[in-house]
Amino acid sequence: MQFKTIIEPFRIKTVEPITMSTEQEREQFLTNAHYNPFLLKSEQVIIDLLTDSGTSAMSSNQWAGMMRGDESYAGARSWDRFEKEVHDLTGMPHILPTHQGRAAERILYSHIGGKGKYFISNTHFDTTRANIEYSGATAIDIPALEGKDYNSDFPFKGNMDVAKLEELIKQYGERHVAAVILTVTNNSGGGQPVSMQNAKEISKICKKHDILFVLDCCRIAENSYFIHEKEKEYKGVPFREIAQEMFSLADAAIMSAKKDALVNMGGFLALRSKSLSEACTQMLIITEGFTTYGGLSGRDMEAIAIGLQEVFEPDYLKYRIISTQYLGEKIRSKGVQIIYPVGGHAVYVDAKKLYDHMPVEHYPGQALVCELYRIGGIRTVEIGSVMFGTYDGHGELIAAPMELVRLAIPRRVYTQSHIDYVIEVFDEINRTKKNVKGLRITKEPKFLRHFTSHFERL
């Protein structure tokens, strides 16, 4: 008998209390945080959907691994386990452990980047773009055109536009393109999956022009699930083998282990080229740590090695993707525009559509982020003109191409009733939407302004 209810495939062994709050209290917390939920304290939040990064619940097996962590400075057993696991998964001979994804980005992109260089991606994640631009290089996003239609059934809206890739390489000259970065799944592009077909085409183009092909692979297990479900040649192929095939197409991989390695901290840079690895290792030792721990404790490396196995378990992956879909489908059935089909780790709401009375200069995404918190104590993040907007020479906003709000689901943390609560909050969001006013930025830094900017209500 096949039952239609899909249950969380785990029991809960340790619990962490949630502090409840009233709407009135939250109004005050929000004012104190300058309308930027990054500046809230976690105990002021009821359901934290700010990120799926570093927020996973670890398994009893991972906690047991933590106790086995070998904290030797050099040559630790935990490093051997970590290296073996990452090597087996990626097939890459040179593995550099880092404290998180952006450390690996800084090491690689500061070395191969610099003024006059171009990086091309389906969509650069914000820290990826920041590291590239900080080096003086230029980051260009070329998501596939199919991704622009939020409602079509196209299964791989995270793809890169390969025709455009060829065009840009011709335009800039292959020597000036430092790397092509494929982000799987495409986080800033709606958490949408990338097909193996797309990865194969990109790999071929990179080989032809001798350009480094980097996989930004922090959600590669989730991406493999979509390939398994939606790309017919991969039906029945184990998820891990699908991931291994994708790695085999690339020259390098950067992973923030805080996502699909099911841990709270960690990352790595994996490379095929010996000479590139030698140059990056120099930087690793200067800024992260010795080669056999990088920025990580032995216990972190143990937990990552175990998490990279657990994440490919079929029951886990099925639960993961289907529970994210559950949230997305329910919100959508209330008439809220989301990026559809639902991606792997998050639901992305189109705030521009929801608040269609609000000009982009008033940051509709940030307004929805504040409303979700005020009404329901739900913390989310804007992915729109706060995160990616810039200014022209006269200080006028150049808006981002989309005004989204991301509801990211931590792995193995919330149960279905938590998610049902979030769904219910959207009834009130819908009921009150016409009265919502936007925000104005009162203080902002030069890079990654969404983290620390202050706002006030208009």
Alpha-carbon distance of 202 to 156, in angstroms, equals 15
Q: Which of 26, 81, 94, 102 binds ligand F0G (CB under 6 A)?
A: 102
Look at residue 269 and give its three-state secondary structure: strand
Of 254 and 317, nearer to ligand F0G (C-beta) is 254
- What are the start-end ranges of the E strands in 171-211? 177-183
Is 258 a residue that touches ligand F0G (CB under 6 A)? yes
Residue 127: CB minimum distance to ligand F0G, A? 5
Look at residue 342 and give its three-state secondary structure: coil
Of 256 and 291, nearer to ligand F0G (C-beta) is 256
Q: Which of 267, 328, 341, 410 binds ligand F0G (CB under 6 A)?
A: 267
Is 129 a residue that touches ligand F0G (CB under 6 A)? no
Is 138 a residue that touches ligand F0G (CB under 6 A)? no
Asked whether 218 and 411 are in contact (CB, 8 A), the reply is no
Ramachandran assignment for 112, one of left (phi > 0), alpha (psi -120 to 50 degrees), beta (any other): alpha
Ranked by CB distance to ligand F0G, the top (closest) residue is 101
Both tokens assigned to 8: 């969380």
Among 345, 454, 336, which residue's Cα sits nearest to residue 410?
345
Is 264 a residue that touches ligand F0G (CB under 6 A)? no
Q: What is the CA radius of gyration of the chain?
A: 21
Is 101 a residue that touches ligand F0G (CB under 6 A)? yes
Of 214 and 306, nearer to ligand F0G (C-beta) is 214
> 336 to 395, contacts with ligand F0G by CB under 6 A?
none
Is 183 a residue that touches ligand F0G (CB under 6 A)? yes
Alpha-carbon distance of 143 to 123, in angstroms, equals 6
What 8-state DSSP symbol labels residue 166? H
Is 51 a residue that touches ligand F0G (CB under 6 A)? yes
Which residues, listed in sequence order, are joined to residue 192 by a DSSP beta bridge? 186
Residue 360: CB minimum distance to ligand F0G, A? 22
> 192 to 231, contacts with ligand F0G by CB under 6 A?
216, 218
CA distances from residue 158 to 35, 335, 340 in whole angstroms, order as listed = 31, 24, 12
Look at residue 346 and give its three-state secondary structure: strand
> 427 to 446, contacts with ligand F0G by CB under 6 A?
none
Is 256 a residue that touches ligand F0G (CB under 6 A)? yes
Of 51 and 324, nearer to ligand F0G (C-beta) is 51
- Positions touching ligand F0G (CB under 6 A) are 51, 53, 100-102, 125, 127-128, 183, 187, 216, 218, 256, 258, 267
